[in-house]
Amino acid sequence: MRGKHSLFYHILIFVIAQLVWLSLLGIWIYWYVSNYIVFEKVGDQVSPQLVYDVQNTLPFILGLILLVGLSFITSLIFRHLNVQLRITQLYDNFIGNVTHELKSPLSSIQLYLETLGQRNVPAEKQREFIDMMMKDADRLQSLINSILEISAQEKKKQRRDFKIYRADLIVKNLLEESFEKFRIGKDNYSINGEAPCEILAGKDSLKIIFDNLVDNAVKYSTSAAKIDVKISCNSNRFIIEFTDNGIGIHQKEHKKIFNKFYRIYSKDIPNVKGTGLGLYRVKEIVRAHSGKISVASQGEGTTFKIEMPLYHKSQSGLFNKLSNKT
């Protein structure tokens, strides 16, 4: 709410500033035209030099340029403030989301530890508690790693262990791992198509892509998530079409979902957890592979389409460069 009020005040200041410049411009034009009319009527009765000086249009033109320049600068300032307000709001949301994501597993671990320390817990129950704590610790580690990797990615310091893979084999294996990780039953997913082509890719990076897509499919499904993946390749591209049965994504949000910290809020699923970094990471990883990602959604369900260039032997120089890049 505070952000909305701040934005309103900035808009109000901008409008008032523009009205002031326009009013000043109107007064200037009125003054110039009035003097011009006066001198048109009585110009013969005054010194020719005075007429020339008063009717000299250079000051008038310079004044107009100054006013237009000031108006343009004011617009730039307003735009900059608006962008900063948006970044601040996104940052505040990110801090809130990360804090929540950190506190939840930490509170769970603390509760299990207190229970183990204060009560005589049976051995079987102890193993169950330890398993739950390990899962919470893995969740914390995953969150921290994602933040660190994004920072390294933006600073161009992330190591890219690119290798040559047969596209359909590596993708099918990584998808199976992601489905198992997020407990997607075999009846709830399908992988169709063949892609007997080679790609230059980072295995760990591809795993991050599929983990995030599967995680989103689970989070934004009102019932059991169902996922259909189609893979194919043509003469130039390897294509992955990842379709889920979630709540869908409104057309106006198709580009926003790939922005850093952006999250979709829905009344159907009000308590979705996350930091707003998942699809941003996916986009950046796809871009690092010289590929592109797009989204399509009509009503329920969403399809993410990933296109990556094929590897050709003529690209051996590119392979050496990417596989050793730090």
pLDDT of residue 295: 93
8-state DSSP, 32: H
pLDDT digits (tens, 9 = 90+) for 5-31: 555 666 676 677 667 767 776 776 776
pLDDT of residue 298: 79
- Do the domains 100-154 and 162-317 sit in the same CATH topology, yes or no? no
Alpha-carbon dihedral 29, 30, 32, 36, rounded to 10 degrees: 130
pLDDT digits (tens, 9 = 90+) for 254-295: 888 888 777 777 666 656 666 677 888 899 899 989 999 999
Does the global pTM surpass 0.75? no
Hey, where are the domains in the chain?
Answer: 2-90, 100-154, 162-317
pLDDT of residue 44: 55
pLDDT of residue 37: 66
Burial-class residue 176 by CB neighbours within 10 Å (0-12, 13-18, 19+).
middle
Residues contacting 314, CB < 8 A, separation 6+: none
pLDDT of residue 90: 66
pLDDT of residue 227: 95
Residues in the chain where the model's pLDDT stays below 50: 1-3, 50-55, 325-326
pLDDT of residue 169: 94
Task: Give the domain 100-154 fold.
Answer: Helix Hairpins (1.10.287)
CATH number listed for the domain at residues 162-317: 3.30.565.10
Question: Of 282, 272, 280, 278, whose CA–CA distance to 100 is shortest?
Answer: 272
* φ and ψ at residue 77, rounded to 5 degrees: -60, -45
